Amino acid sequence: MIATVHSALLHGGQLTAIRIEVSAEPGLKFQMSGTRDPVMREAPDRIRAAFQSMGWRWPGKRITMLLHPLDMHKSGATLDLPMALAIAMATARMPVPPHHVWALGALNLSGRLCQPDKGGVAQVKRSIRRLPPLTAVNHVSQAIDTMKHWGQLAGHDAVRKIAWPDIAWDASTWLVFELVASGGHPLLLEGHPDQDKVAFAHALHKVLEVLHKRQLPLREPAGMLSVKAFFSPSGEWDQSTGGLLFVNQAQVLPASILSAMGQAMMATHSPADRRWLLLARNPCACGYQGSQSQACLCTPSALSAHERKFNVTLLQAFHLMHVMEAGKVKAQWDELIYRCKKARAVQAKRGVLNAFASKSVIQSHFQLAPSAHEAMLKEGLRQGQAHLWHLCRVARSAADLDGTKHVLGRHVALAVSLSARVGPLGPGRSLSTSQAPRNPRSQ
């Protein structure tokens, strides 16, 4: 059987496509053609160790590997991952997908991908305008699992037929997007007027419809509504059940609606009375506090009034708070939906999305590593028990996206950095001065 995997290398300062072909026949010999570089020719030893870390034995086959173009000088370890995938497909360890496989990455002996600054991976990625799938995995087993279940979980062809928006954000915004889509967490999103928060909401709604395989309601209330109208049986709150409620320009809403919204979110609801909630606001009345492109015109009293409008009850109800930043990272929608579906599948075994998990579910099924348990206790002592449960839910969603059984310390740190923390006299921090979260998959 012959398997093919595509990749790329920098040659003479130019990005060159690489095609890796592997044939597996009866026998025990390994032969590689297309390079004389000693590091690259040692790749079979690294791949053998990576397979052993997964519990796989090295295939008892005669393996022939060709690296096209054969006459081009190739060096380094950045082709380790595509070589491993090609060997796994050629030896029937995983099915050959119906689409082109594109991968890139250097492996260590445990099967983990080396840091992006090693092996020239970062330099190659910077040269690619749109990163293909399998560039965000952190272990060879994760890449193989992705390929095994691609069609079943991601609906690859169906996802590609959708007209997805061509949008670019910073990496932390994409991570928050995945946490909301996969875990159902309510999000308070802040950004300057030039940050397209509407595009965030519409893209989220489209992803949710793909995940649920049906149309979902999208409510975008506009204008000055009363509390009675907002929460009436035919109001925005009721009509958004089971879908997405996107409240844009929240700073112009009456404080009474914001307070009532916080109370409704904190109340106990039946599974049928649930929705994705996205509240978007500007950082101040004029919209440019902390902006580098335009000066803020708000007075100190106006800034204080803006923060007081978002009271403690409302902020405590949100699991996530995030500041949108300009970025150049474009979405790989098929891969994003695959990760969300895989995380959803894990949550389905627990019977509920993480955002709606009860205390008993958290205590029974949210396994914490010792480092995570210690960090969670410290944060609970600082912020209170209600905040602790929210942290558990967000950290569990981060772990599900990361593909780990236990919640680790880095997942708790991410949840803390994104949490809606408040102090005894009101908001404990301004979103505009918060630190951007780190992606757990990059650690």
User: CA-CA distance, 186 to 104, in Å (whole number)?
Assistant: 35
Higher pLDDT, 148 or 310: 310
- Kindly list the distances between the CA atom of residue 373 and the CA atoms of 353, 384, 390, 396, 421, in Å, as whole numbers in the listed order: 21, 15, 14, 12, 19
- Chain position carrying tokens 């005669």: 62
**For 357-368, what is the mean pLDDT?**
83
The two beta strands, 422-423 and 2-11, are unpaired
CB neighbours of residue 89 within 10 Å: 23
pLDDT digit string, tens, across residues 388-427:
888 889 999 999 998 888 888 888 888 888 875 443 323 3
Mean pLDDT, residues 91-108? 77
CA pair distance 20, 65, nearest whole angstrom: 7
310: left (phi over 0), alpha (psi -120 to 50) or beta: beta
What ranges do the domains of the chain cover? Answer: 2-154, 168-329, 349-442
CA–CA dist 69, 84 (Å, integer): 19
Sheet holding 218-219: strands in order across?
218-219, 244-247, 276-281, 187-190, 320-323
- Predicted pLDDT at 361: 86
List the structure tokens of 358: 């009860």
Fold of 2-154: Ribosomal Protein S5; domain 2 (3.30.230)
Q: How confident is the model at residue 131 (pLDDT cuts 50, 70, 90)?
A: very low
CB environment 18-36: b (16+ within 10 A), e (fewer): bbbbbbbeeeeebebebbe
pLDDT of residue 255 exceeding 50, the answer is yes
Is residue 155 pLDDT above 80, yes or no?
no
DSSP E strand boundaries for 319-401: 320-323, 329-330
Is residue 134 very low, low, confident or very high in pLDDT (cuts 50, 70, 90)?
Answer: low
The pTM (predicted TM-score) of the whole model is 0.64
Of the ranges 20-24, 331-335, 377-381, 433-437, which one carries the lowest mean pLDDT score?
A: 433-437
- 284 membership: H or E segment, kind and range: none
Q: Is the pLDDT of residue 114 over 90?
A: no
Express each pLDDT in 263-310 by its tens digit: 888 775 555 568 899 998 888 888 888 777 788 888 888 888 888 878
How far apart are alpha carbons 312 and 289 in whole angstroms? Answer: 21
Q: Cα-flanking dihedrals φ and ψ of residue 260, to 5°?
A: -65, -35
Does residue 38 surpass a pLDDT of 80? yes
Dihedral sign of CA atoms 58, 133, 183, 216 in order = negative
Domain spanning 168-329, CATH class? alpha beta
Task: Give the C-alpha separation, 95 to 417, whole Å.
Answer: 40
